[in-house]
Amino acid sequence: MAVNPYVPIRAKVKEIREDTSETRTFVISPEVSDAKSRFAFRPGQFLQLTVFGVGEAPISVCSSPEDLPLIQMSIRRIGTVTEAMHDIRVGDFVGLRGPYGNGWPVEKLKGRDVVLVAGGIGMAPLRPLMSTSRNVTDKSGSTTLCYGARNPSLLMYKSEFPRWTESGASVKLTVDQGDAGWNGRVGVVPALLDDLEVDKASAVALTCGPPVMIKFTARKLAQLGYKPENIYASLESMMRCGIGKCGHCHFGSKHVCLDGPVFSYSDMLSLPKGLAPI
Amino acid sequence: MTSFYITESSLKRLVDQLAKEQIVVAPVREGSGFSFKRIADSKGMCLDFTNSTIPPKSVLLPQLEELFTYEVKSGNVKTAGSAGDGTVTLIGVRPCDSSALSILDRVMGGEYVDPYYSKNRERTLVLGVSCSKPESTCFCNVFGTGPVEGSGDDVTFTKVDSGYVTRPKTGRGKEFIKKHADYFREATEKELELFERESDRVTKSMETKLKIEGLPERMSKAFDDPYWQELSRRCIECGVCSFICPTCYCFDVVEEVNGNQGRRSRGWDTCQSCRFSKMAGGLDPRPTKPDRLKHRFYHKLQYMPMTFGAISCVGCGRCVSRCPSNVDIREVIAKWQ
Amino acid sequence: MVWNEHCTASLPKYLIGIKDKVGIVTKGCDGRAIVELIKDKQVDRDKVVIIAPVCPGVKRASGTSKEEVLAGYCERCPDRTSPISDISIPGSPSEKGAAQRSASDAKAGKPSKRGTPWMEEFQRCTKCLACIRACPLCYCTECELDGSMPSLVSKLRIPSELPTFHLVRAMHMAGRCVGCGACEAACPVDIPLTDLYSRVNDEVERILGYVPGIDVNSTPPVELPRPKVEKK
């Protein structure tokens, strides 16, 4: 019997980590024996997360596929479902559907310099690439992460930065506003893109964050000489079904849930005006 | 394929018989219009109508549909879908609405098959009835979706003399006629001749003439035109166009909770609503009325052809006659033809 | 410009959020709507130039025969000319006569239709919310009945909630509905909404002696602080 794509799979919350004042990371284990294959995902894909009795929201997977059957999702409190998710405790059950979406163009990264640009919780869908940067990307180029947040307390996954640096990635941080303990750079994320030692003509840039950040990052990258077809952004949208039926994520003729959420800059430029942050 | 003939009285008796054995949905009078409703016998059925207010897509994509029920604490899903089993005979479907089903089929299939729609579609036999008195607002002739037969028909009935020339369109339609062979006989040459003349007459009687070839491409140039701003000034965002459109399929999903019992359902939604594309944080890719109205027309006239190869307006004219502000898709097509 | 008995739209709807000075041709009911909108502080009196002809009454196709008859809400209309105007256009003697007959019929207490099977009518409702969108007096950006949070009824068309939707709306129309019929004209399934709202307003008149849309200086029985709507 065919699987009903609308019915969520029950999953147990195993662990909850407080990342920042706004976000928590949940470690979730689907209650099916074939979770590893059922939920096999590509970095950049998302799941439809159900808080039973409240509703559903599309949330990116922020763990590596290697950690399956465990799945991690970082959730920021912004609406009804995500607020309710922050009331969830270890041992509670949530629902999962997916994985959906296209994910990052991992195959394209081979042999190229890779620049990841993240803002705030936008780091979440990029984290699967960092946590196994050698294995997932399997490339011989360099990996640079440019990551910023409004202030130092909103930077996520801080405890993992040393490991990322160890594995060979260059981690560049910035905040809009520093605090007493901050010795690092102050400024907007796109400013980190200056002076990167990468082969811009062939490098691939992957970005995620607030729409205004994506807009200026993409523009800056194009100005610096990165090719529009090599610049990718993970876009947000209102969603309901996640499988291209309900119409809520229509971006022109594309569905963010089917053709996205990752779009190349050249694709974004060809979408009807006002839809993509360009 | 052979053409058959059934008299009006025989059709009524056939419907009476079917209604005893299974669910039969037919057009009935309701209020000042017509609706597709389940009938107990042929008495209430009215095939002498232009069209219903709400399209018969409601049989396949109900306005309110339960997706599944569950226990809130454990997340155990209890039941999935509330559609029954057994055949549903949907009779009286006009060619426009029938052709709309072919469009809905494409949307609901694809990589992720919608199980609720597929089940409803599989169990529904579509008995289409040709039009004889198109309204001035009808323009199916522009899209080739009528007025004689629709692409979603299993069988097409066309009124000739005091009965119907009956033409099976699908294997299922053929089987249906075979099963009820007592009610049908082969159509005579005279009847077939009358059928040709009637088809010709009805098609020629349609008033709206529009050119749609190349329309999707032409609309690419129109996106930034101030026309859309001007057109949307009169729109009151009531969304009636979406609710009565046979090719509209967008839906919203809601939870209902009573203690530990939960139910997730879906129901018709409209892209004209100011909340349709608004995200939890407040961002909205279509924040203004012109954005949304433009989206409706682009979706029907460009995006759907780009994705599925066919314009998703079938010319039923419901939006034209019911829009409180006279927003007219024919005008939009004429502007960019 | 088209001015005839098919002008079913409610033009005051388009005044909400407008910043410029506009001229508006008003039927009697439209003028009454503007009076209420002025009281609700959604329209500035000095920003509208009201051009008031004598309205012939609106005709709508009735029943399945599509024969055109005078709309029920026009039969009930107390005055087919706007109560406020800047430019009034005198009608022909027959127009004036028809308008006066209608007004005296209404005064003579022609009762709102009784015996309507309301629960049956409500079940035909498609929850499209066109009645709310068409109504010139429904300008709230956050509505309790449209399914946005918090809401009294679901966004979806749950049959058991349909009477709640309509009865709550009817209560919201108490002391506000001016009988323009824009809701009925927009309703795709022809629910006789103005019959319902006029029943409620008959009671408001009987109990509180208040009739909406007549006097721009009178105080509505239910006064809610509603912020001025800004055009999007």
Model confidence band, residue A134 (pLDDT cutoffs 50, 70, 90): low
Both B152 and B176 in one domain: the answer is: yes
Both B222 and B201 in one domain: the answer is: no
Residue A31 has pLDDT above 80, yes or no: yes
Residue B74 lies in a domain: no
What pLDDT was estimated at residue B181?
96
How do the pLDDT tens digits run along chain B, 337 residues long?
Answer: 689 999 999 999 999 999 999 999 999 998 788 999 999 999 999 999 989 999 999 999 999 999 999 999 999 998 787 677 889 999 999 999 999 999 999 999 999 999 999 999 999 999 999 999 999 999 999 999 999 999 999 999 999 999 999 999 999 999 999 999 999 999 999 999 999 999 999 999 998 889 999 999 999 989 999 999 999 999 999 999 999 999 999 999 999 999 999 999 999 999 999 999 999 888 999 999 999 999 999 999 999 999 999 999 999 999 999 999 999 999 999 999 8
Q: Out of B77, B114, B279, whose CB is closest to A245? A: B114
CATH number reported for the structural domain that contains residue A182 in this entry: 3.40.50.80
Do the Cβ atoms of B112 and A273 come within 8 Å? Answer: no
Cβ partners under 8 Å of residue A179, min gap 6: A151, A152, A153
Residue A177 lies in a domain: yes
d(CA A127, CA A104): 11
Residue A256 lies in a domain: yes
Among chain C residues, CA nearest to B237: C133
Do the Cβ atoms of B283 and A211 come within 8 Å? Answer: yes
Residue B327 lies in a domain: yes
Crossing angle (nearest 10°) for helices B95-108 and B115-123: 140
d(CA C47, CA C49): 7
Residue A195 lies in a domain: yes
Both B188 and B234 in one domain: the answer is: no
Model confidence band, residue A140 (pLDDT cutoffs 50, 70, 90): low
Do the Cβ atoms of B54 and C156 come within 8 Å? Answer: no
CB C194 within 8 A of CB C183: yes
Beta bridge partners of B125: B89
- Four-residue CA torsion sign, C25, C28, C31, C37: negative
- Four-residue CA torsion sign, B203, B208, B211, B216: negative
Q: For residue C22, which amino acid is it? A: V
Do the Cβ atoms of A245 and B255 come within 8 Å? Answer: no
d(CA B145, CA B6): 24
Residue B43 lies in a domain: yes
Residue A156 lies in a domain: yes
Tell me how many domains chain A contains: 2
Long-range contacts of A77-82 (CB under 8 A, 24+ apart): A77/A22, A77/A23, A78/B280, A78/B281, A79/B279, A79/B280, A79/B281, A80/A54, A80/A55, A80/B280, A80/C149, A81/A49, A81/A51, A81/A54, A81/A55, A81/A56, A81/A57, A81/B280, A82/A57, A82/B280
What pLDDT was estimated at residue A133?
54
Count the helix, strand and coil residues of chain C and give each as a percent rounded to the nearest 5: 35, 10, 55
B223: helix, strand or coil: coil
Among chain B residues, CA nearest to A57: B280
Cβ partners under 8 Å of residue C142, min gap 6: C148
Both A86 and A223 in one domain: the answer is: no
d(CA B39, CA B17): 12
Both A30 and A123 in one domain: the answer is: no
Which of C189, C190, C193, C229 is best to mutate for the B interface (most B CBs within 10 A)? C189
Torsion of CA A153, A155, A156, A162, to 10 degrees: -110
Sheet holding B33-38, edge to edge: B33-38, B23-30, B88-93, B124-129, B155-160, B163-168, B4-7, B185-186
Q: Report chain C residues touching chain B, CB-CB < 8 A.
A: 8-9, 13-14, 61-64, 121, 124, 126-130, 133-134, 147-148, 154-159, 182, 185-186, 188-191, 232
The Cα of B53 is separated from the nearest Cα of chain C by a number of Å equal to 7
Among chain B residues, CA nearest to A76: B281
d(CA B10, CA A34): 56
Chains that touch B (3 or more CB pairs under 8 A): A, C
Both A140 and A250 in one domain: the answer is: yes
- Out of A72, A100, A128, a domain closes at A100
Rg (chain A; Cα; Å): 18
Do the Cβ atoms of B281 and A79 come within 8 Å? Answer: yes
Do the Cβ atoms of B269 and A246 come within 8 Å? Answer: yes
CATH number reported for the structural domain that contains residue A94 in this entry: 2.40.30.10
Among chain B residues, CA nearest to C117: B31
pLDDT in tens, A185-235: 999 999 999 989 999 999 999 999 999 999 999 999 999 999 999 999 999
Residue A4 lies in a domain: no
The DSSP element (H or E) to which A170 belongs, if any, is strand A170-175
CB B118 within 8 A of CB B62: no
d(CA B14, CA B177): 11
B274: helix, strand or coil: coil
What pLDDT was estimated at residue B328?
96
Which of B78, B253, B284 is best to mutate for the A interface (most A CBs within 10 A)? B253
Among chain C residues, CA nearest to B289: C232
Both B46 and B189 in one domain: the answer is: yes
The Cα of C135 is separated from the nearest Cα of chain B by a number of Å equal to 10
- Out of A100, A128, A147, a domain closes at A100
* Nearest residue to A65 via CA among A44, A45, A40, A48: A40
What pLDDT was estimated at residue B337?
86
Q: For residue A9, which amino acid is it? A: I
Residue B99 lies in a domain: yes
Tell me how many domains chain B contains: 2
Question: What is the length of chain C?
Answer: 232
Both A199 and A176 in one domain: the answer is: yes
**Chain A neighbours among B 76-135 (CB < 8 Å)?**
76-77, 80-81, 107-108, 110-116
The Cα of C191 is separated from the nearest Cα of chain B by a number of Å equal to 8
Residue A2 lies in a domain: no
Both A167 and A123 in one domain: the answer is: yes
Q: Whole-model pTM above 0.90? A: yes
Residue B303 touches chain A, beta carbons under 8 Å: yes
Tokens for B307, please give them: 């994705």
- Domain span including residue A260: 106-270
CB atoms within 10 A of CB A248: 25
Both A26 and A111 in one domain: the answer is: no
Cβ partners under 8 Å of residue A15, min gap 6: A26, A27, A90
Which residues of chain C are within 8 Å of residue B270 when distances are taken between CB atoms?
128
Do the Cβ atoms of B64 and C155 come within 8 Å? Answer: no
d(CA A89, CA A173): 32
Both B25 and B105 in one domain: the answer is: yes
Domain ranges in chain C are 11-208
Both B188 and B116 in one domain: the answer is: yes
d(CA C36, CA C24): 16
CB C74 within 8 A of CB C62: no
Rg (chain C; Cα; Å): 17
Tokens for B254, please give them: 């809601």
C170: helix, strand or coil: helix
d(CA B14, CA A121): 64
- Domain span including residue B139: 4-61+83-205
Residue B67 lies in a domain: no
The Cα of A255 is separated from the nearest Cα of chain B by a number of Å equal to 11
Tokens for C176, please give them: 């506000």
Q: Where are the alpha helices (DSSP H) in chain C?
A: 28-39, 72-75, 93-107, 118-123, 130-134, 162-172, 182-186, 193-208
Cβ partners under 8 Å of residue C217, min gap 6: none
Both B133 and B174 in one domain: the answer is: yes
The DSSP element (H or E) to which A232 belongs, if any, is strand A231-234
DSSP strand E in chain B: where? 4-7, 23-30, 33-38, 64-71, 77-80, 88-93, 124-129, 155-160, 163-168, 185-186, 251-258, 261-268
The DSSP element (H or E) to which C51 belongs, if any, is strand C48-52
Residue A138 has pLDDT above 60, yes or no: no
Among chain B residues, CA nearest to A95: B75
Residue B299 touches chain A, beta carbons under 8 Å: yes
pLDDT in tens, A88-132: 999 999 999 999 999 999 989 888 999 999 999 999 999 999 866
Cβ partners under 8 Å of residue B122, min gap 6: none
Both B200 and B287 in one domain: the answer is: no
Both A92 and A207 in one domain: the answer is: no
Q: For residue B282, which amino acid is it? A: G
Q: In chain C, which residues have pLDDT < 70?
A: 62-66, 93-94, 97, 99-114, 149, 225, 232
Both A137 and A263 in one domain: the answer is: yes
For the residues A238-254, what does the mean pLDDT come to?
Answer: 96
Do the Cβ atoms of A250 and B303 come within 8 Å? Answer: yes
Sheet holding A204-208, edge to edge: A185-186, A170-175, A143-149, A114-119, A204-208, A231-234, A262-264
DSSP 8-state symbol, B149: -
Do the Cβ atoms of C133 and B288 come within 8 Å? Answer: no
Whether the ω angle into residue B134 lies within 30 degrees of 0, i.e. cis, is no
Strand B77-80 relative to strand B163-168, pairing: unpaired
Q: How far is CA C161 from CA B288, C125, C156, C169, C171, in A?
A: 30, 11, 9, 12, 16
